[in-house]
A and B are shown apart, each in its own frame.
Chain A
Amino acid sequence: MAITQITSGPPVPQPRVSRRMLLKGSAAAAVSLGVAALPSARGAAGEQPTSDTPSGPFRKGRVIDCHAHLSHRSRATWEADDCKLIEAADMLGIDQLCCSTLTLRRPATADGFRECNQWTTDGMRRFPGRILGYCYVNPGYGREALEEIRRCVEERGFIGIKLYNEYTCTEPVVFPIVELAIELGVPILQHASHFHYFVEDQPRLSDGGHLAELARRYPEAMLICAHISGGGDWEWTIKALRHAQNVLLDTSGSVTDEGTVELAAAVVGVDRLLFGCDSSMTAGVGKIRGANLSAPDKENILSGNIMRLLRRRKS
């Protein structure tokens, strides 16, 4: 399914705050006041921050949240919660949300992830043009996982694959998933965190180092390191991924540490950053709004980079 086809849909509630207001570049003001900025990878090419004018990039640009979730339907309020997600996106000027639905308990069973993906499909139908689906699987189910991915991507129009913590992403059981993602031309959003302590309930947690290793094994794969702002030591993660050119970093998470986005841009380049919220909506939008980057750089983070990624699908 082409992205251009999924932008149309029924009328949606009018945003109470304009996207331009919410995502306006702060960089121009910061520069004029002499606030020091980390260099952006593209800033060196001579791009300057632009002012918040009606012709600024966020009026015409789309905003895509690369990391979102629909509610598990065991929650009595799942339907209202999903509506709240869309309402929040409306308020914050987010046009589309790339969503997965996760099982409540992991490791997920095959029936469990198939049920979740069916709910994601339903969500795409309930909110046409707003929800883009990630197919969530547990790689341990081998053939069933591969069949589910193929069904979701080829028949249901899902845009990518979501892997959680059932296996570390460098374990061989994950390789067939990556090879199928390459065949289909879709990205993998990998749950990842780096803590300086052992996490007992996530013994097979992946981190930026694992993703870099996987990226070396599969340089043609499109990998996304999830929530750098909710995955422990973000400075470690950014540095671990410096040389992994086919890994993009998702800025989502509840942590709003000043300088995160600028450091990521300086180390890996803005072309490898994707805007995301992971349910921390004002944190997600606020970080990008506050980052001292040029307006074109922000536009790429907000949608340009993921649009380029999604255009690489082969079916």
Chain B
Amino acid sequence: MIVDVNAYLGHFAFRRLRHNTVASLLALMDSKRIDKAVVSSASAITYRNAQAGNEEVAEEVRAHSDRLISFAVINPFYAGWQDDLKICHEEFGMAGLRLYPKWHNYQLSSACCRELVNAASERGMVISIPIRVEDNRQRSWLLNVPDVLLEEIVELVKAHPKARFILLNGIGYTGCPLGRKDNGLPSNYAMELSRLSAVLANELGQLITNLGAERVMFGTGMPFNYPDPALLKLEVLDASESDKEKIRSQNAMTWLRL
């Protein structure tokens, strides 16, 4: 069983994506033997009203909830986010959130964001935060959206010990408290592996040593990314089979109650 906690549907404003419909994404998953994927709207990253993207995903995923677990993109500074959260959770059955503080121009430490995290956590929703959407060096001339600073994540996980966070598309955790042993932080966050090295610096192995395999989850970033590099990391990772199984699926299934 492989569960991908980092997948998307829909269009991205700055690059054509393939495999971005349910049918084509499922076909890609089948070809890579990925059983389930957590998906959210790529369009909602740049839609002003992110809820329109959530509605698109909900409509597409409805008949495939056995394989696709939908997450909502919510901007806590946009009018009506409380209503959107309620609809996404109660009507669409979305199991978590994806937050884009840099793309949506707010601080993770802001009162509105803290309110959203609390409201989602009360509903038992998991909160995922892509550290980046794509490599900033290839950015359009229209904008310059920086990566989310890991220091901001440190403060967020400390401030919400009862919330559960999955950090996506991140790297450099071992260079900050998030990836260090005995870091004094709550164990309320997990890191997805799509950008982590599994050879040479082997940050993936270091994280398993420092925090345990329970804190790492498999993810690809498809269809933004080829899924193969992430799959390859699992293959070459120097870890026990039981640890690999946790990363491959068990951790995500526990967190998502699958």
Q: A254-B135, A290-B228 are in contact. Are A259 and B30 (CB under 8 A)?
A: no
Assess the A232–B138 pair: CB atoms within 8 A: yes
Identify B17's interface contact among A21, A22, A33, A258, CB under 8 A.
Answer: A258
The answer to whether B28 and A289 have CB atoms under 8 Å apart is no
Known: A84-B199, A257-B225, A290-B226. A35 touches B28 (CB 8 A): yes
Give complex CA distance A36, B141 in Å: 30
B: number of interface residues (CB 8 Å): 40
Compute how far the CA of A173 lies from the CA of B200 in the bound complex, rounded to whole angstroms.
36
A34–B229 alpha-carbon span in the complex (Å): 22
Asked if B200 contacts A258 (CB within 8 A), the reply is no
State whether A92 touches B27 (Cβ < 8 A): no
Q: A254-B135, A291-B226 are in contact. Are A22 and B232 (CB under 8 A)?
A: yes
Contact of B134 with A by CB under 8 A:
yes
Residues of chain A within 8 A (CB-CB) of B138 are: 195, 232-234, 255
Stretch of A110-118, A138-146, A156-164, A276-284 on the interface side: A276-284
CB pair B236 A16 closer than 8 Å: yes
State in angstroms the CA–CA spacing of A33 and B199 once bound together: 32
Instruction: Decide yes or no: A26 and B199 within 8 Å by CB, A21-B235, A36-B18, A257-B15 being known contacts.
Output: no
- Chain B residues 45 to 95 lying within 8 A of chain A, measured CB to CB, are none
Report whether A35 and B141 are in contact in the complex, using a CB–CB cutoff of 8 Å: no
Question: Quick check: B229 and A258 within 8 Å, CB to CB?
Answer: no
The number of residue pairs between A and B whose CB atoms lie closer than 8 Å in the complex comes to 111
Q: What is the CB-to-nearest-CB distance from A293 to chain B, in angstroms, rounded to a whole number?
A: 12
What is the distance, in angstroms, from A194's C-beta to the closest C-beta of chain B?
Answer: 9
- CB-CB under 8 A for A282 and B24, given A35-B31, A255-B138, A256-B225: no
Does A279 lie within 8 Å of B200, measured CB to CB?
A: yes
Output the residue of B19, B232, B235 with the most chain A CB within 10 A. Answer: B232
Q: How far is the CA of A283 from the CA of B199 in the complex (A)?
A: 11
B137 contacts which of A87, A195, A258 (Cβ < 8 Å)?
A195
Q: Give chain A interface residues in 219-258, CB to chain B under 8 Å.
A: 230-235, 254-258
B-side binding surface: helix, strand, loop or mixed?
A: loop
Interface status of B227 (Cβ within 8 A of chain A)? yes
The answer to whether residues A35 and B24 also contact, given A193-B137, A197-B144, A285-B232 and a CB cut-off of 8 A, is: yes
- Give the chain A neighbours of B139 by CB distance below 8 A: 196-197
A72 beta carbon closer than 8 Å to chain B: no
Cβ of A2 under 8 Å from chain B: no
Q: Is the CB of B28 within 8 A of A281?
A: no
* A29 close to chain B: CB less than 8 A: yes
B229 and A88 form a contact (CB under 8 A)? no
Does the CB pair B226–A287 fall under 8 Å?
yes
Interchain CA distance A102-B49 in the complex, whole Å: 48
Contact check, B200 vs A33: say whether CB atoms are below 8 A apart: no
Residue of B nearest to A289 (CB): B228
User: Chain B residues near A91 (CB, 8 Å)?
Assistant: 199, 236
Contact across chains for B236 and A36 when beta carbons are under 8 A apart: no
In angstroms, Cα B237 to Cα A282, docked, is: 11
Partner of B230, one of A92, A230, A257, A286: A286
A85 at the interface (CB under 8 A from B): yes
B198 proximity list for chain A (CB < 8 A) = 282
Chain B minimum-CB-distance residue to A255:
B135
B residues less than 8 Å from A36 (CB atoms):
18, 24
- Taken together as a complex, chains A and B put the C-alpha atoms of A29 and B34 apart, in Å, by 13
A-B contact pairs, 14 of them (CB 8 A): A16-B236, A17-B235, A26-B31, A26-B228, A33-B27, A33-B30, A84-B200, A234-B138, A258-B223, A282-B229, A286-B229, A289-B232, A290-B228, A291-B226
Q: Which 7 A-B pairs have the closest CB atoms?
A: A286-B229, A290-B228, A290-B226, A88-B199, A286-B228, A196-B141, A29-B31
Taking A16-B236, A33-B30, A282-B236 as known contacts, 15 extra A-B pairs with beta carbons closer than 8 A to each other, sorted by chain A number, are: A26-B228, A30-B31, A33-B27, A35-B27, A87-B199, A231-B137, A235-B15, A255-B135, A257-B225, A258-B223, A258-B224, A283-B229, A286-B228, A289-B226, A290-B226
Which residue numbers of A lie inside 8 Å of B, CB to CB? 16-17, 21-22, 26, 29-30, 33-36, 81, 84-85, 87-88, 91-92, 193, 195-197, 230-235, 254-259, 279, 281-283, 285-287, 289-291
